[in-house]
Amino acid sequence: MSPAPESAPLLEVCVLHARDAAAATAGEADRLLLLAEPERGGLSPAPSVLSAVLRETDLPVRVMLRADDSLTVDGARFSSLLGTARTCLELGATGFSFGFLDHDLEIDRPSCSALAGELVGTGWTFHRGFDQTLDARRAWRDVLDLPGLDAVASAGSTRGLAAGGDELVERASSDPRIARLLLVSGGLTGEQVPWLVRAGVRQFGLGEEVRPGGSWTKAYVDTAAVRAWRLLLDDAHQLALGVPVD
């Protein structure tokens, strides 16, 4: 099994607007992911929304780069996403979440590398579209050396962590490179956290889990819920290191 990470787990919270950002910040998240239309898997937000979010937080803010429902990219869509990224960087974004698949549902390495190459020095997450690849083993192989990539958002299955959590624990335990990159997201439960932390996972993403009723549209991010997850992750980390938790 992979050794537990020395650094505390990173907690990323998905936000839709400034009110969410303020709540996640107060709850002691480490990073925010700003997106629009979560019911479509997340699309790029409007620049005005990013500006409002940045006024409410001093946390690093990553921005979803996705123009529509497709996970493939052509020249026009690529140019549009690059323009969006440059605007977001000018406003103060610190990173991005994007990712492309080809028509065979494999990682589109050339397109991912090309966009990352235009954003040199900016960290990025391969978003949950990663779970739509046909062969997860090959997909992990194909993303490990993408330039600038420092996170891969995955639930291990398109059906969420309830179906894919055990597989993620196994993959992270068997390969420290995967454990380092894996950002677990997609229906996380408290029971899964200790196993993932012991496997070496150090990045966790929350969305519906920190919204009352689990609703994107009817509830805002709840500060108390974020803080509860913060404590849960920190306690699991301390236990993995063999440090007693009060």
Name the residue ranges covered by the structural domains of the chain: 10-240
For 63, other C-beta atoms within 10 Å of its C-beta total 29
Q: Are 74 and 112 in contact (CB under 8 A)?
A: no
Kindly report the pTM of this predicted structure.
Answer: 0.94
Supply the CATH classification number for the domain 10-240. 3.20.20.380
Q: How far apart are CA 120 and CA 79, in angstroms?
A: 16
- Coil, helix or strand for 236? helix
Per-residue pLDDT of the chain (246 residues; tens, 9 = 90+): 344 446 789 999 999 999 999 999 999 999 999 999 999 999 999 999 999 999 999 999 999 999 999 999 999 999 999 999 999 999 999 999 999 999 999 999 999 999 999 999 999 999 999 999 999 999 999 999 999 999 999 999 999 999 999 999 999 999 999 999 999 999 999 999 999 999 999 999 999 999 999 999 899 999 999 999 999 999 999 998 877 766
